[in-house]
Amino acid sequence: AQKITQTQPGMFVQEKEAVTLDCTYDTSDQSYGLFWYKQPSSGEMIFLIYQGSYDEQNATEGRYSLNFQKARKSANLVISASQLGDSAMYFCAMREGLNNAGNMLTFGGGTRLMVKP
């Protein structure tokens, strides 16, 4: 079974509107972390936001927020007020365990977001 599932291969959003990118995960660990990265066409993976499994509040970073539903094992990324520069691939990733040596991440397959002017 896949550990990280992103079911939307591609999405369109109108500029200035909000968009939600889905991510579900599978783990038996009680302690884990969830990450979202953005990858523009240039190739670099840019860290956006982090949510810990024990964090009681949803993480927010500027226009990015994470809709964390632990019981449903989902960690959806919400981008408010979309901008043309938000067009990119978006990846959800998970780190399992509190102290896994090497701090390894498992990535989902990604969602391509296209912002329409």
Binding residues for another protein (CB under 8 A):
31-33, 35, 37, 42-47, 50, 52, 91, 95, 98-105, 107-110
User: Is the distance from CB of 106 to CB of 94 less than 8 angstroms?
Assistant: yes
Residue 16 CB, shortest distance to another protein, in Å, is 29
101: which residues sit within 8 A by CB, 6+ positions away? none
Q: How far is the CB of 89 from another protein (least distance, A)?
A: 10
Least gap, CB of 14 to another protein (angstroms): 27
| Contact indicator for 38, 89 with CB cutoff of 8 Å | yes
